[in-house]
């Protein structure tokens, strides 16, 4: 991809911040003007730090107009508010049936695109079910297969531990895998990438917190992940998750049918404060 590294020399004040902040020092100041040599372009992470750090909006890369960025400092969230959000998010296991508006889902997914990825890989694929009817047909497909496996006692080797959960779900009619949620989100990333799992976890963490700030609930569902990846990979493929991808995790989300009135109280974080290196 063409980098389109461009500097508006009328606006540039020659401060060199773009050059200093470039992770690989690919930008050189020549006569107080930032330049990127052609041979450096292939090593550019495309992180856009040069565009973000420029105090006068003189620098454009990848065809981005700095005027289209959100000016900073802007509406920074007070730390206490963000901490309260982090402390108050809960694993939501009771959902309203109503769908979340397509606008809200689009806003969430687009914002998740701002999550960091290893070497700015930006390859996390967000597979989303935004139609609750499709979610219901997924539930049906998955539980039909699981019921057959329970009947025949033929869970794949290593996955027998799921049988207990599934049997409970089948007997009680409780949807332990998807918790009755109207929506599902799968984060996956190419296995060949530098850190596919970490990238997916970060993306889902961004999603969960932003969703909580919008009055939504979410649940990291290990049961859904283990089932779809380990027992019904054909269903996963049918949802459009490429075989070349590592599934980082699966989350369900929607409008909560439960209201938490206070935070939980965690005892302490496990901290190893290094005093010396032995
Ligand atoms: C990676 C991960 C997998 C999880 N899998 C499940 C799951 O399959 N089913 C479930 O009900 N809860 C699941 N949870 C939710 C945890 O049980 C929950 O985070 C924990 O009990 C603390 O509750 P809280 O999230 O409300 O603070 C999972 C959480 C994480 C982080």
- Please name the residue whose Cα sits nearest to atom 21 of ligand 1: 91
| Nearest atom (ligand 1) to Cα of 93 | 11
Q: How far is Cα 6 from Cα 30, in angstroms, rounded to an integer? A: 14
pLDDT at 74 over 80: no
How far away, in angstroms, is 92 Cα from ligand 1 center?
9
- Please name the residue whose Cα sits nearest to atom 13 of ligand 1: 221
pLDDT at 41 over 90: yes
Q: Cis ω on the peptide bond leading into residue 73 (within 30° of 0)?
A: yes
Which is it for the CA torsion 21, 200, 64, 67, positive or negative? negative
pLDDT at 159 over 90: no
Ligand 1 pocket, mutate which of 220, 250, 262 (most atoms under 8 A from CB):
220
Q: Could you tell me what percent of the chain has a pLDDT over 70?
A: 99
Q: How far is Cα 271 from Cα 274, in angstroms, rounded to an integer? A: 9
Q: What pLDDT is stored for residue 76 in this prediction?
A: 79
Q: What pLDDT is stored for residue 77 in this prediction?
A: 87
Which is it for the CA torsion 69, 72, 77, 79, positive or negative? positive
Q: Report CA-CA distances (Å) from 136 to 105, 184, 266.
A: 18, 11, 35
- Position 153 confidence tier, pLDDT thresholds 50, 70, 90: confident
How far away, in angstroms, is 59 Cα from ligand 1 center?
44
pLDDT at 24 over 90: yes
| Average pLDDT of the segment spanning 260-268 | 94
| Nearest atom (ligand 1) to Cα of 92 | 26
pLDDT at 247 over 80: yes
Burial class, 201, CB count within 10 angstroms (exposed 0-12 / middle 13-18 / buried 19+)? middle
83: phi then psi, degrees, rounded to nearest 5? -60, -40
DSSP state of 100: P
Q: Could you tell me what percent of the chain has a pLDDT over 90?
A: 88
Mean pLDDT score of the chain: 95
Q: What pLDDT is stored for residue 210 in this prediction?
A: 98
What residues does each domain of the chain span? Answer: 6-68, 83-254
- Please name the residue whose Cα sits nearest to atom 9 of ligand 1: 221
| Nearest atom (ligand 1) to Cα of 226 | 8
Q: What pLDDT is stored for residue 156 in this prediction?
A: 85
Which CATH entry fits the domain spanning 83-254: 3.40.109.10, 3.40.50.1370, 3.90.1330.10, 3.30.70.360? 3.40.109.10
Q: Do the Cβ atoms of 128 and 185 come closer than 8 Å?
A: yes
| Average pLDDT of the segment spanning 251-262 | 97
Q: In the numeric block, which tokens belong to residue 57?
A: 């909006």
Is the CB of 220 within 6 Å of ligand 1? yes
| Average pLDDT of the segment spanning 62-75 | 90
pLDDT tens for 170-226 read 888 899 999 999 999 999 999 999 999 999 999 999 999 999 999 999 999 999 999
Q: Report CA-CA distances (Å) from 111 to 43, 53, 105, 182, 203.
A: 26, 20, 10, 21, 9
Q: What pLDDT is stored for residue 237 in this prediction?
A: 98
Q: What's CA 173's distance to the chain center, in Å?
A: 30
pLDDT tens for 84-143 read 999 999 999 999 999 999 999 999 999 999 999 999 999 999 999 999 999 999 999 999
How far away, in angstroms, is 87 Cα from ligand 1 center?
14
Q: What pLDDT is stored for residue 209 in this prediction?
A: 98
In what order do the strands lie in the sheet containing 217-220?
125-129, 183-190, 245-254, 217-220
Q: What pLDDT is stored for residue 252 in this prediction?
A: 98
CATH architecture, range 6-68: 2-Layer Sandwich (3.30)
Is the CB of 88 within 6 Å of ligand 1? no
Is the CB of 223 within 6 Å of ligand 1? yes
Ligand 1 pocket, mutate which of 222, 225, 250, 252 (most atoms under 8 A from CB):
222
- Position 151 confidence tier, pLDDT thresholds 50, 70, 90: confident
Identify the CA nearest to 93 among candidates 261, 228, 246, 257: 257
């Amino acid at each position: 991809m063409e980098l389109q590294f461009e500097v508006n020399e009328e606006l540039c004040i020659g401060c060199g911040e773009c050059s200093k902040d470039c992770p690989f020092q690919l930008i050189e100041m020549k006569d107080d003007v930032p330049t990127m040599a052609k041979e450096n372009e292939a090593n550019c992470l495309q992180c856009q730090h040069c565009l973000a750090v420029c105090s006068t909006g003189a620098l454009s890369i990848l065809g981005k107009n700095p005027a289209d960025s959100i000016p900073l400092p802007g509406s920074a969230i007070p730390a206490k508010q963000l901490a309260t959000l982090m402390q108050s998010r809960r694993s939501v296991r009771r959902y309203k049936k109503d769908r979340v508006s397509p606008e809200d889902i689009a806003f969430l997914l687009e914002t998740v695109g701002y999550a960091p990825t290893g070497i700015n890989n930006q390859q996390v694929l967000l597979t989303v079910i935004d139609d609750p009817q499709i979610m219901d047909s997924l539930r049906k497909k998955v539980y039909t297969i699981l019921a057959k496996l329970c009947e025949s006692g033929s869970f794949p080797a290593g996955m027998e531990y799921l049988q207990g959960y599934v049997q409970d779900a089948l007997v009680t009619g409780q949807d332990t895998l998807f918790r009755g949620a109207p929506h599902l989100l799968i984060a996956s990333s190419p296995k060949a990438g530098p850190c596919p799992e970490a990238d997916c976890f970060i993306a889902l963490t961004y999603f969960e917190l932003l969703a909580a700030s919008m009055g939504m609930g979410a649940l990291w569902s290990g049961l859904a992940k283990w089932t779809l990846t380990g027992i019904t990979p054909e269903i996963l493929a049918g949802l459009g998750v490429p075989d070349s991808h590592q599934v980082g995790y699966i989350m369900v989300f929607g409008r909560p049918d439960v209201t938490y009135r206070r935070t939980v109280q965690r005892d302490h974080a496990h901290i190893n404060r290094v005093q010396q290196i032995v």
